Amino acid sequence: MQLFGTLGVSVEANDGVGAALRGDTLVVVYKEPARLHRARWVYDLADRLVERCPEGIVALVVVLPTSAPPDGPARAENSTRLRRLGPSLRRLVTVPVGDDLSRSIARSVVRATAVLQRGPSRMLLSETLDEGIACLLESASPLSPSFDRIAADVRSLCAELEVDDLSFCSEVPPSRSRRISGVQQIAPVTSDRRAAG
């Protein structure tokens, strides 16, 4: 399903995954498990956005507790497509939502993916949606939407996906002076570090 808003946003949902494209920003919400057909759909949207934004894109991925880590074929697709997107991806922030176990699993998957990418990592993990959006906007361009619009896109995607618990979505953006404490930059493993370990 595809909906077009009046402010240049395209909101789409496909089999338990929602995506909003606004300016140079891709916002994704995974409600269902990360499987090959869903991953391909998301990366196809990212490719479309890169065609419109040759200076690069930023992406926010929210992983709900009802989702599950990618299976083997989806992991392979993630690796291939992220490598191809690499030069065009200014920043990718993942926000795992849920209890400690589901967040820990999602963090492990993101870290493993980052290690496989080899090279400068633009992938970040955030503990909260607010911090994730703020971190994403550190790589904003003039085409990037505001904090409020990104947060509204997440809420719209959740509504489209019929997500009942929106407690992870706050209504107030964090202060610009507030320290972002829940963000972790994922550093790739260099050959020196691998040899030493």
Q: How distant is the alpha carbon of residue 78 from its chain centre?
A: 12
Q: Can you give the pLDDT at residue 165?
A: 82
Domains and CATH numbers, the chain: 2-196 (3.30.750.24)
Q: Can you give the pLDDT at residue 104?
A: 73
CA atoms of 156 and 163, how far apart (whole Å): 10
| C-beta of residue 93 within 8 angstroms of C-beta of residue 132 | yes
Q: Which residues of the chain have pLDDT under 50?
A: 1-7, 172-184, 186-197
Q: Is the pTM of this model over 0.85?
A: no
CA atoms of 160 and 158, how far apart (whole Å): 5
Q: Can you give the pLDDT at residue 156?
A: 93
First to last CA, the chain: 48
CA atoms of 27 and 70, how far apart (whole Å): 18
Q: Can you give the pLDDT at residue 106?
A: 67
CA atoms of 72 and 9, how far apart (whole Å): 32
| C-beta of residue 17 within 8 angstroms of C-beta of residue 41 | yes
Span 145-158, pLDDT tens digits = 999 999 999 999 99
Span 32-53, pLDDT tens digits = 999 999 999 999 999 999 999 9
